[in-house]
Amino acid sequence: MDDITKTAFLNRPDLHVGTEGEFAGWRTWSRDNFETNNGPFWHRMEDDGRIRSAFRVEKKHLNGGGNVHGGCFMSFADYCLFATASPVLQGPGVTVSFACEFIDAVREGELIEGFAEITRAGGSLIFLRGQLTAGERTLFTFSGTIKRVKRKAAPQPNA
Amino acid sequence: MDDITKTAFLNRPDLHVGTEGEFAGWRTWSRDNFETNNGPFWHRMEDDGRIRSAFRVEKKHLNGGGNVHGGCFMSFADYCLFATASPVLQGPGVTVSFACEFIDAVREGELIEGFAEITRAGGSLIFLRGQLTAGERTLFTFSGTIKRVKRKAAPQPNA
């Protein structure tokens, strides 16, 4: 991973770094109401350049059966897509498609980790796939596509 | 829709009926922490037997760009799957797969509605597909599969 890419990873303006607890030193984004309400979800860059995402399961993540809700898995996986793509995205993007399989259940107190890989980073679309795990157990597999959103040019005063 | 199916629609033990505001008379489920934290999401049966699901967009549903978060779309779509399947599910179930496309953005204050249809209800799996709309705009299309969860038989005292 080159310096330009590392710099892009660090530069999103609402980046927040955890200062206490098990996620001290991990990063999250603070400007996203939905993620703040459901998280915080966290990510960090490992020494090999891979992005690890994680959160600890609380009561608010559970469905009526006492397992993590499917919508929570999908929301965290969407976070993993953007955490993983952020070094190459270098600007705003939106998810345009997503698909997943629910493989195993997970309970309150467990640590859920997510890893994704970029299948292809094109000029317009970034394709990714990944999985969520708890310890040795695979919980959830997913793939998703992010579309880069071009910033509109400011109107010219004499145009 | 026959009387047995209608009865099944009404009988989930944590069913809660709204008593005030725009969702008075609509139904939701109260035992699901994740949905309570993100909703409430609501559903009701129309005269033709179709299940309409809906929620009003609040600040907590938004991403950093001020649009409804992708995870929120997916969580509400998962709710639509179960609301739509509930008359034939008649017991517990889990989502085993889900796929979706993000078609348009939606802002705070708008009403999001969801309709799904059962493609096939088998003995083990229920296949569905649907869409989310805001007024005349299609926001999101999805498909999902629910697996019926068999209740384990109580152990026999002399077994």
- Write out A93-141 in H/E/C secondary structure: EEEEEEEEEECCCCCCCCEEEEEEEEEEECCCEEEEEEEEEECCEEEEE
CA distance A14 to chain B (A): 9
What's the rounded Cα separation, in Å, for the pair A66 and A59? 8
CA distance A55 to chain B (A): 15
What is the per-residue pLDDT across A46-96, written as a single tens digit (0 to 9) for each?
Answer: 999 999 999 999 999 999 989 999 999 999 999 999 999 999 998 889 999
Top-confidence residue, B87 or A3: B87
CA distance B94 to chain A (A): 8
Res. B8 pLDDT band, cuts 50 70 90: low
- Residue B85's pLDDT is 96
Contact assignment for B71 to A34 by CB distance below 8 Å: yes
- Residue A5's pLDDT is 52
Residue with tokens 């980790």: A113
Could you tell me which of A95, A46, A43 has the C-alpha nearest to residue A74?
A: A95
CA distances for A10 relative to A5, A15, A86, B83, angstroms: 9, 8, 9, 42
Given B37, B38, B64, which is nearest A14 (Cβ)? B64
What are φ and ψ of residue B123, in 5° steps? -70, -30
Res. A3 pLDDT band, cuts 50 70 90: low
Contact assignment for B71 to A61 by CB distance below 8 Å: no
The enclosing H or E element of B115 equals strand B111-121
Distance of CA A108 to the CA centre of its chain: 21
pLDDT mean across residues, chain B? 90
- Residue B159's pLDDT is 47
**Claim: this prediction has a pTM higher than 0.95:** no
Instruction: Give the ipTM.
Output: 0.89
Tokens of B146: 């629910």
What is the per-residue pLDDT across A102-144, written as a single tens digit (0 to 9) for each?
Answer: 999 999 999 999 999 999 999 999 999 999 999 999 999 999 9
What is the per-residue pLDDT across B66-110, written as a single tens digit (0 to 9) for each?
Answer: 999 999 999 999 999 999 999 999 888 999 999 999 999 999 999
pLDDT mean across residues, chain A? 90
